[in-house]
């Protein structure tokens, strides 16, 4: 951080707090709300699935802790775990693509994964999510949840 010269310690602290508040505000702005999510899903569907996956609703849920995303093809609804919030965009996009693909192909057979190959960061995103799960299972690692 660039701190203007000749500040008293109190001024400096106040200035740092202002900058931190600004950063926090930017951070929260980056979190997608439900309508952003629907728009994003539409764009991903256009880009990778020729617009064939058309969800009726896409939203965040907080009651989903063991799965990153889920969908109900009969209703065309997609739900994403709030645990994805704050993860890199390509990871959120992957989970969206995954659920969009389920609107076209149920289950995880070869046809499903072939469809997902259209999204170029599938492997990387899966690795990231596997890493998150693995880190959570290592109780003594700093930053891991639980004890
Ligand atoms: Zn799946």
Domain positions in the chain are: 32-137
Pick the CATH number of 32-137 from 3.90.1150.10, 3.60.20.10, 3.40.30.10, 3.30.2010.10: 3.30.2010.10
> Ligand 1 mean position to 102 CA, how many Å?
7
Contact 103, 71 (CB under 8 A): yes
Q: In this structure, is the dihedral angle defined by the CA atoms of residues 61, 64, 65 and 69, taken in order, positive or negative?
A: negative
Rounded to the nearest whole angstrom, what is the distance from the C-alpha of residue 83 to the centroid of ligand 1? 17
Q: Could you read off the pLDDT of 36-88 as tens digits, one per residue?
A: 999 999 999 999 999 999 999 999 999 887 899 999 999 999 999 999 998 99
What is the tens place of the pLDDT at every residue in 91-131? 999 999 999 999 999 999 999 999 999 999 999 999 999 99
Using CA atoms, how far residue 55 sits from 15, 25, 49, 137, in Å, is: 45, 30, 12, 33
Expressed in angstroms and rounded, the spacing between residue 114 Cα and the centre of ligand 1 is 13
């Amino acid at each position: 951080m660039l701190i203007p010269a000749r500040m008293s310690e109190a001024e400096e602290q106040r200035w740092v707090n202002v900058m931190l508040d600004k950063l926090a505000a930017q951070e929260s702005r980056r979190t997608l709300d439900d309508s952003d999510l629907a728009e994003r899903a539409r764009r991903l569907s256009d880009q990778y699935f020729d617009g064939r996956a058309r969800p009726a609703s896409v939203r965040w849920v907080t009651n989903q802790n063991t799965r990153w995303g889920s969908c109900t093809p009969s209703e065309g609804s997609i739900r994403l775990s709030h645990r994805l919030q704050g993860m890199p965009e390509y990871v959120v996009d992957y989970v969206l693509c995954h659920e969009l693909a389920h609107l076209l192909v149920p289950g995880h057979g070869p046809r499903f994964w072939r469809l997902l190959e259209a999204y170029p960061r599938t492997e990387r995103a899966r690795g990231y999510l596997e890493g998150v799960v693995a880190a959570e299972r290592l109780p003594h690692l700093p930053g891991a949840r639980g004890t």
